Structure 1
Amino acid sequence: MEIELDARGVPAYVTLVERLQAAVAAGALEAGGPLPPEPDLALRFGVRPDTVRRALGHLEAEGTLTRRPDGCLYVDDAPPIPRPRRREARPANGLLLFARYAYPPNERGYCGPADHRSLLEQATAGVVDGRLAELARAFRGPWPYLQLMAGAAGIDDPFDLRVVEAYWVGNRLLDRVDMGDFGNALAARFRREVGPRWRYLAEWIPAGAVAHHSFHVFGVYPWVGLLDSGRGEPLEILDRCRIRWGRVRSIHGDRVVVEYRPLTWDGRRLDLGEPTVETVVRAVDGHGFVDDLRPGDWVSMHWRWICDRLDRRGLDDLRRYTLLHLEMANVSLAHPGPAMVMG
């Protein structure tokens, strides 16, 4: 089930946690007293029951609530003990999330504006303004996908958090885009650029491709010349420019050791190989996207950077859409771009 969002596009359980914490602090929920039943809380705050359960689980884990032998939750009546609160990794604004994922290739000069340092500084400081929007719109690759998904979902802002998440990680907005509209958007953006090879790129549309970043990597990159540009080995570009998922094994300051499955090429197929470890970056000179990481966390990565901490739904969606396009590249196309470039 998708995580419920509030009117601001913020996960509703995060907002509910804050409101319940405020009620405890104000004495509206008395220390030592029982918590109202979950259905009453859902009705009172206008959220789904699963949102209530998620918020209560968070508050129980941090010690605000205590489950007693009768199985009910009570407001903790012990003297408050200072304890570090784990900050949510996911930003509440779509532009900030977009900047996290867009910065790593921008740093390397693959796409986007020349001023990559400003993008990093604004994204890590949480500064959302016209300048950040201007920087984000300079990424010509993702823009048509964002516009397309926003239009299909009736969302005014292509940088809405839900739309941005759908493109980089994946969610159900991807499945709401009409195949014909997707094909028309791709033709408008790439047909002239790829020239006669457009017919090869167009094979992805009836095969069932969706407007996810993994399609852009496996489907578009081979035909716009990125894999044979001399900027690196094609397999490395495909592997590093897709959004990878991995599990944190250890943390060493601004460097994090992550276990993940790299792309492999056997001369015929692209596959995910055996797990390996890699040291990636979470911050440089105090600027980073995700802090308070712990061993066992699942994270998303773009090039050498950790971009986000993934919950179970995000991890499942990223896997699902990546594997969908990987299988298409291997099986469904008469002219699979990666295979034609790598031979």
Structure 2
Amino acid sequence: MDVRGTDMFARYTYAPNRLGYCGPAEAAALRSGTSAEIRAVATRFSGVWPYLRVMSRLTGIEDPLDHRLVESYWLGGGVGAHLDPDDFMAELLAVIGPVAGAYWTHLTPDLSAEAAANHCFHVFGVYPWSRLLGRGMEQHPVSVLDNCRINWGTVVSRDDAGVALRCRSLVWNGRTLELSAPSIQRADVWSDGYSSLPDVAVGDEVGVHWGRLCGRLAPGQVQDLAASTARQLEATNLRLAAAES
């Protein structure tokens, strides 16, 4: 049993689950459960779990919660980056298509052009929010996209209230999505009596999901996350431009 994989799964899914956006209601296992309990909860996530299943099948890594798959899904890079987009999209549609419903009519093989086996593709390609841009009310879709993607930042200070991070935000310039210049943003270390990174310190590079710290990032992980984000923004912007023409 890959404890590192289940731990990372729990840390990156806790915030959206606690906010009620994905997974089963009140999944306490994500904050204090055993690896076995986290595994039982993981199968009830309609977003990340299908990706991990497909990645497991296509890579030959038997355990969907193997750390290599979980890390590749959340941060990009790694084993998932080597999968053929057409093969991956076909397998993913076979899993999520039958349960998507009429609301998700954009889920077709055409998405292979921007498909990737990671969370960034799920946020910008599979979720419908990017398709609401250019309609005059961009603030909410951009906010959701920015919070739902995995962001990264450097801790520049810490006090009793939390940490200050130097990081980049998602912005919409009227035609394309892009990342802003670095700015300082606040994040809580503790929330609801839980912290995934209680000993976070100045100088740490950290991953952030829905405004909550998920864990430290090594330099290579930051590079993978930055590269997968840049790639997805480029692919999504191409789709948005094509929709306007």
Q: 1:103 to 1:276 in 2, by over 3 A?
A: same
Q: Which amino acid aligns with 2:224?
A: D
Query: Is the CA contact 2:165–2:185 (under 8 Å) kept in the aligned structure 1?
Result: yes
Q: Does residue 164 of the first structure (1) align with residue 37 of the second (2)?
A: no
- Give how far 1:267 is off: 1.2
Residue-by-residue CA offset, 1:84-109 (whole Å, 9 max, x unaligned): xxxxxxxx521111011111111111
Deviates more, 1:282-291 or 1:301-310: 282-291
1:260 corresponds to: 167
When Rg is computed on C-alpha atoms for both structures, the one with the higher figure is 1
Identity of aligned residues (%): 38
Output the amino acid matched with 1:211. Answer: A
SS in 2 for 1:233: helix
Q: Deviations over 1:170-202 (max 9, x none)?
A: 232113323332122232234352548645653
Instruction: State the aligned residue count.
Output: 240
Q: 2:150 and 2:120 mapped to 1: Cα distance? A: 7
Mapped partners of 2:185, 2:130: distance in 1? 29
Judged with a 3 Å threshold, the aligned counterparts in structure 2 of structure 1 residues 319 and 181 are, in CA distance, closer, same or farther, namely same
Residue 194 of structure 2 is aligned to residue 283 of structure 1: no
1: distance between equivalents of 2:132 and 2:161? Answer: 30
1:113 aligns with 2:33: no
Residue 155 in structure 1 maps to residue 61 in structure 2: yes
Higher RCO (CA-CA < 8 Å; seq separation 6+)? 2
Residue aligning to 1:146: 52
- Between stretches 180-189 and 314-323, larger displacement belongs to 180-189
The equivalent residue for 1:302 is 209
| Structure 1: tracts of 5 or more residues without a match | 1-7, 10-91
Q: Contact between 2:72 and 2:81, CA under 8 Å: does it hold in 1?
A: no
**1:200–1:335 contact (8 Å) kept in structure 2:** no
User: What is residue 90 of structure 2 aligned with on the other side?
Assistant: 184
In the alignment, which of 217, 222, 245 is matched to residue 128 of structure 2?
A: 222
Give 1:155 deviation, angstroms.
Answer: 1.1
2: CA distance, partners of 1:139 / 1:325: 22
The aligned counterpart of 1:135 is: 41
Q: What are structure 2's unaligned runs of at least 5 residues? A: none
Measure, in 2, the Cα distance between the counterparts of 1:325 and 1:247. 22
C-alpha distance in 1 between matches for 2:225 and 2:234: 14
Query: Which letter does structure 2 place at the counterpart of 1:163?
Result: L
CA contact (8 A) 2:168 2:183 kept: yes
CA, structure 1 residues 117+225, in 2 after alignment: closer, same or farther (shift >3 Å)? farther
C-alpha distance in structure 1 between counterparts of 2:82 and 2:58, whole Å = 6
Kindly provide the CA deviation profile for residues 267-318 of structure 1, in whole angstroms up to 9, marking residues without a partner as x: 1010001222211122235421113222121110001210010110000000
Q: Output the TM-score relative to the length of structure 1.
A: 0.63
SS of corresponding position for 1:152: helix
Q: TM-score, normalised by structure 2?
A: 0.87
Matched residue SS, 2:175: coil
Pair 244,211 (structure 1): closer, same or farther in 2 beyond 3 Å: same
CA RMSD between the two structures: 2.8
Matched residue SS, 1:119: helix
1:52-85 per-residue CA deviation (whole Å, 9 max, x = no partner) reads: xxxxxxxxxxxxxxxxxxxxxxxxxxxxxxxxxx
Question: Which amino acid counterpart does residue 84 of structure 2 have in structure 1?
Answer: D
State the SS of the aligned residue for 2:28. helix
Alignment match, 1:292: 199
